[in-house]
Amino acid sequence: MSNPSPAPLEVLRNTFGYDSFRGRQEDIISHLLNGEDCLVIMPTGGGKSLCYQLPALLRPGVAVVVSPLIALMQDQVMAMQQLGVRAACLNSSLSAQQQHTVIQQVDHKRLDLLYVAPERLLQQDTLAWLQGTEVSLFAIDEAHCVSAWGHDFRQDYLQLNQLAELFAAVPRIALTATADPRTQTDIIHRLALRNAQTFTHGFDRPNICYTVQPKSDPRGQLLNFLAAHKDEAGIVYCLSRKSVDSTAAWLYQQGFNALPYHAGLDNEVRQLHQSRFLREDAVVMVATIAFGMGIDKPDVRFVVHMDLPKNIESYYQETGRAGRDGQPADAWMVYGLQDVVRLNRMADESTATEEHKRIERSKLEALLGWCEVTTCRRHALLRYFGDNVDGQCGNCDTCLQPPHTWDATEAARKALSCVYRTGQRFGAGHVIDVLRGQQSERIQRFKHDQLSTYGIGSSHSERQWRSIFRQLVVRGYLKVDHGRFGALVITPDSRGLLRGESTLQLREDADKSRTRKRASTYELQLEDEDLMQALRNLRSRLAEAAGVPPYVVFHDATLLGMVETRPTSLNQMLDISGIGQAKLDKYGEPFLQIISEHALVQPGGSADAAPG
């Protein structure tokens, strides 16, 4: 026999340019190398792809990766090729000639990784062809699509169980970012994985800082938040197409490189905006939830929700698009009573079955409850997904600035009585006017200035009352009656409060919208900032020449590594995380060049070498 094949760690270092494995990557890889099946559940950015990409280089034959998203496939193929890995994809976006070339590459054993869409793989001729070649492993990405319990069921995924019989000797790895225990069992069963070991990694995204603020002046609050994110890429989610358009236009006026994205825009416009988001630095994508699926950009620094998402699952998935590269990122959301009213109405009006509506409502309640938590927000999120955690994470709003609570018994009683006295026919705005003793046409028309509750709440501001009403709805003391145009109605739960039998603690909304000052993701010295910018510019030029997004050339973290260590030789560059042999050969020289130019401009150290 010739040389024994290299060890996984060697490949990790030489080809991928990383020092060590993350989490359970090493276990998963050795499992596959032993020819066994497994299911991997790892949050976004956890490093799932490496779990099959690396064994693909060590096992003989071609690894077949099943992925439903063509855009994502092309991204991965590009990224692999940059590492010097022989990868290609087979899908309908290729010409017949191109497909022929790929097939030949496989036939001549000149390919390590082949990405295919499920419908293509499942064609009889594709399966027959692959049976005649050597397949090293099957990787089934987005494996939750096979389960009706998952959130994105796809019919053709069901047919993937054929692989178990047709390729009995080939190990299969199924991967997903979100699957609760029930979905996990279902995936194993439906894909007919054999003796599959499940590798879970927990749901935590420690680098994402979660913040939820009451919505008072949403645009002002957003601007305040974005002030700490100049020159960074991010996504701002809005509920409606209209608010996407107006928010994008407004942010653009405020000097941000903001672009709109929603299903109402022409296909070309959407494509253009998406590719600008991927290829340019610091684009803010203002979007409906139509945007995001299959976006693999690692350096999204923030995800903003200007309106509440549907439930905690959606929130987790949408915010999960931030910080895939493991660098600090923000998930920031504003919400107010209007969101609560609107989501309740949507649940009521939905055409789903009663059973389904009940589930939706309870998911909405869980989300609202989570918005109002006073303990660690991250841990509350993780517990929702079944992770067993408590204590404080130190990287969420409630840990960084613990919210105050106050005894709101008296105020709540006033609020509830006023709802009652006005006949349970009005929304919060009018009831607050009555409480605060305001004058309005409506108040006069209904003679509400003659009620005993008129003006009894003048010691609280309108904002404070909004906060009180919001929390009363979230906690079930009031409910919104959509049959009556959103009137507030008292629920049986509030009897105890009204009779003075129970008390109520509410969360105090912060007076001003406080933004945590994370000046920027990387705290760089001024001269380092210059070099970083120069490296970024070079990266953009090289990326453009190669026709790939900048992060495919190098991640920010890798550029940062160059700034920190200022290598003076190619050999030193190899020590930086994210630089393997292929990338060194391709890009090492020009980056070294820039770094040495900066050393000339900034003679380091000599001036301030005075002993301390």
Q: Which residues bind Zn ion (CB under 5 A)?
A: 376, 378, 393, 396, 399
- The site partner of 22 among Zn ion, ligand ADP, none (C-beta below 5 to 8 Å per kind) is ligand ADP
Q: Is 578 left (phi over 0), alpha (psi -120 to 50) or beta?
A: left
Residue 48 binding result from ligand ADP, Zn ion, none, given CB thresholds of 5 to 8 Å by partner type: ligand ADP
Nearer to ligand ADP, 42 or 411 (CB): 42
CA distance 436 to 560: 55
Of residues 306 through 345, those in contact with ligand ADP by CB under 6 A are 324-325
Q: Write the interaction track for ligand ADP spanning residues 49-88; mark x where CB under 6 A is met and - where it is not.
A: xx--------------------------------------
Stretch that binds ligand ADP, among 43-51, 256-264, 277-285, 348-356 (CB under 6 A): 43-51
Phi, psi angles (nearest 5°) of residue 573:
-65, -35
Is 45 a residue that touches ligand ADP (CB under 6 A)? yes
Instruction: Find which of Zn ion, ligand ADP, none residue 21 binds, CB within 5 to 8 Å per kind.
Output: ligand ADP
What does 172 interact with, of ligand ADP, Zn ion, none (CB < 5 to 8 A by kind)?
A: none
Q: Which stretch binds ligand ADP (CB under 6 A): 19-27, 385-393, 434-442, 586-594?
A: 19-27
Residue 376 binds which of Zn ion, ligand ADP, none (CB < 5-8 A, kind-dependent): Zn ion
Structure tokens at 394: 């130190």
CA–centroid distance for 427 within its chain: 34
Angle at 46 between CA 324 and CA 207, to 5 degrees: 50
Complex with ligand ADP: residue 248 or 552, whichever CB lies closer: 552
Q: Which is nearer to ligand ADP, 337 or 548 (CB)?
A: 548
Least distance (Å) between residue 328 CB and Zn ion? 14
Region near ligand ADP per CB under 6 A, out of 16-24, 338-346, 391-399, 564-572? 16-24
Give the binding range for ligand ADP (CB under 6 A) out of 44-52, 384-392, 442-450, 451-459: 44-52
154: Cα separation from own chain's centroid = 21
For 403, which DSSP code?
A: P
8 Å CB contact between 200 and 188: no
Q: What are phi and psi of 325, to 5 degrees?
A: -80, 0
Interacting partner of 45 out of ligand ADP, Zn ion, none (Cβ under 5 to 8 A depending on kind): ligand ADP
Choosing from 38, 41, 44, 57, the residue that interacts with ligand ADP (CB under 6 A) is 44
From the list ligand ADP, Zn ion, none, pick the one residue 42 interacts with, judged by a Cβ distance below 5 to 8 Å according to partner type. Answer: ligand ADP
Q: Work out which of 6, 294, 298, 429 binds ligand ADP, going by CB under 6 A.
A: 298
Q: How far apart are CA 479 and CA 487, in angstroms?
A: 8
Amino acid of residue 348: D
Rounded Cα gap, residues 361 and 347, in angstroms: 6
Q: Which of 11, 29, 42, 146 binds ligand ADP (CB under 6 A)?
A: 42
Tell me how far, at minimum, the Cβ of 440 lies from ligand ADP, in Å. Answer: 53
Decide the pairing of beta strands 329-335 and 300-305: parallel
Closest distance to ligand ADP from the beta carbon of 82 (Å): 11
**Could you say whether residue 279 binds ligand ADP (CB under 6 A)?**
no
By the rule CB under 6 A, 21 interacts with ligand ADP: yes
Rounded least distance, CB 333 to ligand ADP, Å: 22
- Among residues 119, 130, 136, the alpha carbon closest in space to that of 61 is found at 136
Question: By CB under 6 A, which span of 21-29, 232-240, 299-307, 430-438 interacts with ligand ADP?
Answer: 21-29
Element (H, E) at 190: helix 181-191
Q: Rounded to the nearest whole angstrom, what is the least distance from the CB of residue 539 to ligand ADP in the complex?
A: 15
Report how far Cα 252 is from the mean position of its chain's Cα atoms. 23
Contact 106, 114 (CB under 8 A): yes
Asked if 187 and 174 count as a contact pair (C-beta separation under 8 A), the reply is yes
Packed helices 337-349 and 354-371: angle between N→C axes, nearest 10 degrees: 170
Residue 307 interacts, among ligand ADP, Zn ion, none and using kind-specific CB cut-offs from 5 to 8 Å, with none
Give the position of tokens 């292929």.
582
Q: How far is the CB of 601 from ligand ADP (least distance, A)?
A: 31
Closest separation in Å from C-beta 376 to Zn ion:
3
Given ligand ADP, Zn ion, none, residue 279, with its beta carbon under 5 to 8 Å by kind, binds none
Site residues for ligand ADP, 213-242, by CB under 6 A, read none
What is the secondary structure of 289-309 as a DSSP string? TTS-TT---TTEEEEEESS--
For residues 65 and 120, the answer to whether their CB atoms sit within 8 Å is no
**Do 361 and 369 touch, CB atoms closer than 8 A?**
no
Residue 232 or 325 having the CB closest to ligand ADP = 325
**Bridge-partner residues for 83, per DSSP?**
none
Tokens of 436: 């605060």
Q: Which is nearer to ligand ADP, 274 or 515 (CB)?
A: 274
Percent helix, strand and coil across the chain, each rounded to 5? Answer: 50, 15, 40
Q: Look up tokens 């082949």; give the residue.
A: 114
- Residues of this chain that interact with ligand ADP (CB under 6 A) are 18, 21-22, 25, 42, 44-50, 298, 324-325
